[in-house]
Amino acid sequence: MLDAPANNKSQKPNGKTLGSVWREKGLNKNLVVKIRPVVESNFEGGQGQQTYSVDASQPTLESIFEDADFSIESQYSTPFESSNPEGRLPNLMGMIQSGQINAAYYSLFSTTSDPIGAGALLSEGVAAANELTGVGDMLSESEGKLQGLLGRSNFTKLNSRQIFTSASSIRITGTLFFQAWANAQAEVEDALQQLQVWSSAAELSKQSLLVGGIKDGFSEAMFPSIIPPLVQLQYGGKTYNPMVVESVSAPITAPMTKDGNRIAVRVQVVFLSLTAWDAQNIINTRR
């Protein structure tokens, strides 16, 4: 269940720990980020009742987290913007607001000769506009009435109210810092490789749908590949679970040992929550 407490802080995976030995060097444990795969279960509980527990067969990845951000993004819209006359006849309403309708209205009707009937046509157009926009007789009344609309707008607090439409997944971005204290391969290369493995598909099928259907049956052949695992992120006394690793970016040029193992690497990483979160999910991060 997405809004259930994680309760994973006391669980210790059987797998080994990868990454620099920051805690062994005396660094506060809350300053060390821990990344572990989780297993989704309790499908029999029904939709939305799944639980996520640490996969004890997988290693734990530890690192320093730098410049990390927790981002919540919601989408809002203003559907009432099109409910006013401005949305139906923007040009006409703009001329009224700017005062241009005054100049056009009186310059045409003050014409002494009108061989093509421009005045009559304008009168008909104004009458039709009055009926559509609901501005009544304001366009056909005195010049003072029209002049009074100069500099006014039909934009209000009511037709500008924001309406909540949706929310994006929680996004955590930051930099993981791997540094070798004694063994560059184990503390940097193996840890980085494990993170890259978790961000990649576990297996992509090499067979066509037809061949896979003959060998494995069409039910499995329709979904032959295995997606990346879900992970849990723990940092600063908070647990973010379940997450997916959206991207991992690491330099391939860095100080190295004679064996080609990088000594220190800063890795740009982005985590996304599996679904959009509500208020209870935020509260559960501290449990």
pLDDT of residue 20: 84
Domain boundaries, the chain: 17-73+168-284, 77-147
Highest mean pLDDT among 18-32, 166-180, 201-215: 166-180
Query: Is residue 2 pLDDT above 50, yes or no?
Result: no
List own/partner pairs for 81-90 with CB under 8 A and 24 or more apart: 81/159, 81/160, 83/159, 84/154, 84/155, 84/159, 85/132, 85/133, 85/134, 85/135, 85/154, 86/154, 86/155, 88/132, 88/133, 89/129, 89/132, 89/133
Give the pLDDT band of residue 8 (cuts 50, 70, 90): very low
Q: How far apart are CA 18 and CA 41, in angstroms?
A: 26
β partners of residue 32: 64
Neighbours of 228 (CB within 10 A): 15
Which residue type is seen at 163?
A: I
Q: pLDDT tens digits, residue range 109-143?
A: 555 455 445 555 555 555 555 554 554 454 455 45
pLDDT of residue 6: 46
What does the mean pLDDT of the chain come to? 78
Greatest alpha-carbon span in the chain:
98
Q: Whole-model pTM? A: 0.71
Q: How far apart are CA 184 and CA 257, in angstroms?
A: 8
Give me the percent of the chain exceeding a pLDDT of 70. Answer: 64
pLDDT of residue 147: 64
pLDDT of residue 10: 41
pLDDT of residue 79: 78
β partners of residue 61: 18, 35
Query: Is residue 205 pLDDT above 90, yes or no?
Result: no
CA atoms within 13 A on the CB side of 157: 0
Q: pLDDT tens digits, residue range 43-93?
A: 777 777 788 999 999 999 999 999 999 999 999 988 776 666 555 556 666
Query: Is residue 173 pLDDT above 70, yes or no?
Result: yes
Instruction: Give the residue with greater pLDDT, 156 vs 194.
Output: 194
Cis previous bond, 242, omega within 30: yes
> What is the mean predicted confidence (pLDDT) over 159-186?
92
Give me the percent of the chain exceeding a pLDDT of 90. Answer: 46
